[in-house]
Structure 1
């Protein structure tokens, strides 16, 4: 999958390369995703990383473990390149299924903290505040807060999810994942495609399975640049508009105040969709992520438009509903 750099009237074609060509190890990819889990989720999903290299009863090690805003335990398995997948004795997706099955035995949040999250907090203790708390106490506080805020306590670990990440996948893995999805297993494939551009490494992240993910989302019918893609099932893959579209619609304006849900902290919305708080400019997701201490956050659910008192998700939904009625 090539990329192009446009400079004036000329363009330069940049071909994708492999992680092995870049001498990037699987451990390095794992650490990249651990610190930037939003690469394999988006602003419509909250996720808390709770484990790394967790050993199961059969001495297998899962790469990353997370909990999502629906209370699901999420198993994330990583391979560098297609060749690494094809050379495995055990199928990539089957290894992930075995690990996910072991997580199904987690009975409650205390069990997850004792077996997974507590050791993870201890390993990365420098990344957390509250030095007076033990790793288990801190893990319990963070996990329970995450589940409470997302109204997911009652749904904790009712289901497990699997995410496979690699720079490319072989046909057998994709075929197996498609069949597993059709059979009710929640498993996704993300391509992390690296490029070397002007001395820097750039990633293109693409979700390739399941094909019909987010089919309940609205298409941004006012933004012709956002395309819809027909899938084999006849469904349409749709994406929700982001803050730049909301600014263009005029439903929010530069200078508006954005407040974090259930928090006192506020920020000022800028004309480019970024926010400014205490003189620091950042994305809204990064600001909220840092406030809540989560790995990824549902930006439009946790960002309150102070002038209206509504979440950005509610404002967006109302506007699109009104426009949809006009189209009928």
Structure 2
């Protein structure tokens, strides 16, 4: 978005520039200015450290470390580049490294920062006053670490990573800083681009909904493993998908037609195979799945046992077995073991 200056008879566009062209350095200029007015990119945040690196075995430094009104620690990373570099990866490392800070430790960190900037304020009093606490409350302190990335621009790779992290509950935002020049003066356009302020509340609700759905799926996911015996060969600790692969593979090797297997387990699994005409190899099968649904987020081949050694070739057809076996896989295996009793298929759940 461009910025314009309104004059009496015309609207004059301001010229977009870069920090480099204006001689604005990352640490000495941009960081130094923002730490004094941090509300420009991080409202309701108190800066407690600059170039923070209070850990062993690492030379990494947090540009600015802050704390917000809810007593959450805030990692602030600044870049004057046009793509943001890999700042999200750096910030995640920093967030993990400071996540165990205590209030007492932060007081010591903040005290050094106040001394460095020539302030005689008491660090503990300042923190308590900012948080509106009468005394330290470790139960409420640093329950979350927020991340703020501020840059001239952000690459698609970076924004994709940030959106994915947000989807999993990480509090991270991107603030874009565009410098402009007009009549010898430099202006700065600052906007939060992720999440968009207009839809931030909506995105929070969507994220919470997804999180609840994710937790519900995890709670109902059956991770039971089985000990499997086929014709005297024992295979312990098999997941459902591998139980079905080993059972069906053994049956087909012993002359049982895949169509007969389909008929036997139809009640429990309506479509266990994807069938292609001809004798196809792994690459040809992959291409065939690609043509079926090119827009799928997860390639269809990933939902099947589609490696070369896992394909079944019968009657000039290629049968590809699904690896998506749910709660009724045990019934499917049991039905096959009963129909083909001579294969001596035995299946028992493994105790946790």
CA distance in 2, matches of 1:71, 1:187: 16
| Partner residue in 2 for 1:208 | 193
SS in 1 for 2:106: helix
What's the offset of the Cα at 1:15? 2.8
Aligned-pair distance for 1:81? 1.5
Name whichever of 142-151 and 27-36 sits farther off.
Answer: 142-151
2:129 aligned to which of 145, 150, 153: 145
1:281-320 paired onto structure 2 within 5 Å: none
So what's the TM-score if we normalise by structure 1? 0.57
Cα separation, 2, equivalents of 1:7 and 1:212? 30
Q: Which residues in structure 2 correspond to 1:77-88 (within 5 Å)?
A: 77-82=77-82, 85-86=84-85
Distance (whole Å) between structure 2 residues aligned to residue 48 and residue 234 of structure 1? 29
Distance 1:112 1:214, change over 3 A: farther
Query: Which segments of structure 1 move beyond 6 Å, counting only runs of 4 or more?
Result: none
| Aligned-partner Cα distance in 2 for 1:145–1:161 | 21
Counterpart in the other structure of 2:94: 99
- Counterpart of 1:124 in structure 2 is 117
Question: Does the CA contact (< 8 Å) of 1:109 and 1:144 recur in 2?
Answer: no
Aligned to 1:304: none
1:189 to 2:174 alignment = yes
Give the number of the structure whose alpha-carbon radius of gyration is greater.
Answer: 2
More helix, by proportion: 2
Q: Could you tell me how far apart the structure 1 residues matched to 2:82 and 2:24 are?
A: 14
Equivalent pair of 1:70/1:152 in contact (CA under 8 Å): no
- Residue of 157, 160, 178 corresponding to 1:172: 157
Q: Does 1:70 align with 2:78?
A: no
* Aligned-residue RMSD, C-alpha: 2.5
Q: Gaps spanning 5+ residues in structure 1: where?
A: 131-137, 217-229, 236-328
Tell me the SS of whatever aligns to 1:158: coil
CA distance in 1, matches of 2:197, 2:131: 27
Q: Write out per-residue CA displacement over residues 267-319 of structure 1, whole angstroms, 9 at most, x where no aligned residue.
A: xxxxxxxxxxxxxxxxxxxxxxxxxxxxxxxxxxxxxxxxxxxxxxxxxxxxx
- TM-score norm. by structure 2 comes to 0.53
Match of 1:12 in 2: 12
How many residues were matched structurally?
A: 202
Name the CA distance, whole Å, in 2 between partners of 1:93 and 1:193. 19
The CA deviation at 1:150 is: 9.6
1: distance between equivalents of 2:18 and 2:134? Answer: 38
DSSP 3-state at the match of 2:132 = helix
1:39 aligns with 2:40: yes
Question: What corresponds to 1:248 in structure 2?
Answer: none
Deviations 1:6-65 (A, max 9, x none): 2112121113211111111101111111001111134xxx22110000113311011001
